[in-house]
Amino acid sequence: MKPIKVGLLGLGTVGTGVVRIVEGNQEDLSSQVGSPIVIEKIAVKNTEKARNINVDSDKLTEDPWEVIRHPDIDVIVEVMGGVDQTKEYILEALERGKHIVTANKDLMALYGSEILAKAAEKRCDVYYEASVAGGIPIIRTLIEGFSSDRITKIMGIVNGTTNYILTKMSQEGVSYEEVLKEAQELGYAEADPTSDVEGLDAARKMAILATLGFHTNVELRDVSVSGISSVTKEDISYARRLGYEMKLLGIAERQDDQITISVQPTMVKKKHPIASVNGVFNAVYVHGEAVGETMFYGAGAGEMPTATSVVADLVSVIRNVKLGVSGLKAIAPYKEKRLISDEEIKYKYFLLLHVDDKAGVLAQITQIFAEYNVSLASVVQQPNEFNPDAEIIIVTHDASKANMEKVRKHFESLDVIRKVKSVYRVEG
């Protein structure tokens, strides 16, 4: 049987896992696809670097073009990262009729439509399961499993690094900086972890999921984003006392034919299944009109879980080649995009205010909520342990995002409010 030759771009955390699985599971894999799978050439930044896997040094190159232009390579597996230059490699590989497997959400969120269009033109496959929620087969699930339904909500913990950080801060009271360092050492964080902690990585993943779930072209700029860098141990402790867990949630919702997509630290009711997703684990909750509630859980990052998805994509690509159906699976978004305005988006909110401890303050606060038509579910005032202010903890009923922004601005201009300490979305 003629082997299928694969070119690998990158031999870092994920690339190493890919080599381990392709070599370690070769017998099973070749039985499933009907040919041996050979990793023919591997591009790395530095061929001299010490690696924790043995690869034939002849296979390594510092020139990705050598892999892309290699005449015998049928499939390119891109686990190198990067956006603009990487896009050039991918487009050229497609131009040459090579199929693509990538774990690169940055690339797919920014240039997915261009890459998929090129793939369709060239009758090539582009698979990108590992780009969202590492080891969870959520992209397949949205494309195939939900093709018959109309999805109303996709809610995800889709960044392992931040979930790891929030879990450790919550369960062990460890500081933010300490846990971030640990997540980097474990290979979960991006090369620049700012994109993890500021929510950009999750936003890119949510743009990919929402595009697939709502059949419309969701771009990164459509996702409203805030990260976890300002979440304190104090916020987490308040959340827990009130029966919530703090999670960085990506939420894509559809109301009739309008959608909204956001990523933000969110207080999730402890009884919601997504509240108990801890550590580097990810979960994606999907609600469909017909199916109701579903949830998919697993490791969202790390060498072997991510490589599992990459190699499963490789198997799909090779099967398609054998069946002669390459390039036929991509379904271009077919719905017009209509985003819900901030006036129409309604959530529950948690607010923590530090205020002067004197008569009439609470009355002023509730008056402002009333002015902007925000109804309150609970208000608790308590002395502040550390200074003479009082703390007021408020949970609202559903309130429009635009009105809550006006409330926050008004509070910030009020003398009796020393500080608007925190404002979080509440889910469940």
Ligand X SMILES: N[C@@H](CC=O)C(=O)O
Ligand Y SMILES: NC(=O)C1=CN([C@@H]2O[C@H](COP(=O)(O)OP(=O)(O)OC[C@H]3O[C@@H](n4cnc5c(N)ncnc54)[C@H](OP(=O)(O)O)[C@@H]3O)[C@@H](O)[C@H]2O)C=CC1
Cα–Cα distance measured from residue 80 to residue 64, given in angstroms and rounded to the nearest whole number: 10
Which region, judged by CB under 5 A, interacts with Na ion, from 14-22, 259-267, 304-312, 372-380? 304-312
Instruction: Give which of ligand X, Na ion, ligand Y, none residue 159 binds (C-beta under 5 to 8 Å, depending on kind).
Output: ligand X
Please check whether residue 18 is in contact with residue 310, taking contact to mean a CB–CB distance below 8 angstroms. yes
Cα–Cα distance measured from residue 320 to residue 327, given in angstroms and rounded to the nearest whole number: 8
Please, what is the Cα angle at 188 between 185 and 190, to 5 degrees? Answer: 95
Q: Is beta strand 75-78 parallel, antiparallel or unpaired with respect to 223-225?
A: unpaired
Smaller CB separation from ligand Y, 103 or 206: 103
From 59, 98, 105, 205, the catalytic residue? 205
Q: Is 311 in the site for ligand Y (CB under 6 A)?
A: no
In whole angstroms, how close is the CB of 76 to ligand X at the nearest point? 19
Q: Is 302 in the site for ligand Y (CB under 6 A)?
A: yes
Residue 205 annotated in active site: yes
Please check whether residue 100 is in contact with residue 67, taking contact to mean a CB–CB distance below 8 angstroms. no
Single out the residue of 4, 6, 8, 14 in contact with ligand Y (rule: CB under 6 A): 14
Cα–Cα distance measured from residue 193 to residue 199, given in angstroms and rounded to the nearest whole number: 10
Binding mask 187-206 for ligand X (x = CB under 6 A): -xxx-----x----x-----
Which region, judged by CB under 6 A, interacts with ligand Y, from 44-52, 260-268, 315-323, 408-416? 44-52
Cα–Cα distance measured from residue 342 to residue 258, given in angstroms and rounded to the nearest whole number: 12
Where are any strands of DSSP class E within 171-243? 223-225
Residue nearest to ligand Y (CB): 12
Cβ neighbours for 43, distance < 8 A, ≥ 6 positions apart: 7, 8, 9, 10, 60, 61, 62, 63, 64, 66, 67, 80
Single out the residue of 40, 78, 125, 129 in contact with Na ion (rule: CB under 5 A): 129
Q: Considering only residues 137 through 176, tell me which ones interact with Na ion, judged by CB under 5 A.
A: 138
Single out the residue of 152, 159, 262, 316 in contact with ligand X (rule: CB under 6 A): 159
Give contact residues for ligand Y (rule: CB under 6 A): 10-15, 43-46, 49, 64, 79-82, 103-104, 130, 134, 187-188, 190-191, 301-302, 306
Could you list the active site residues?
A: 205
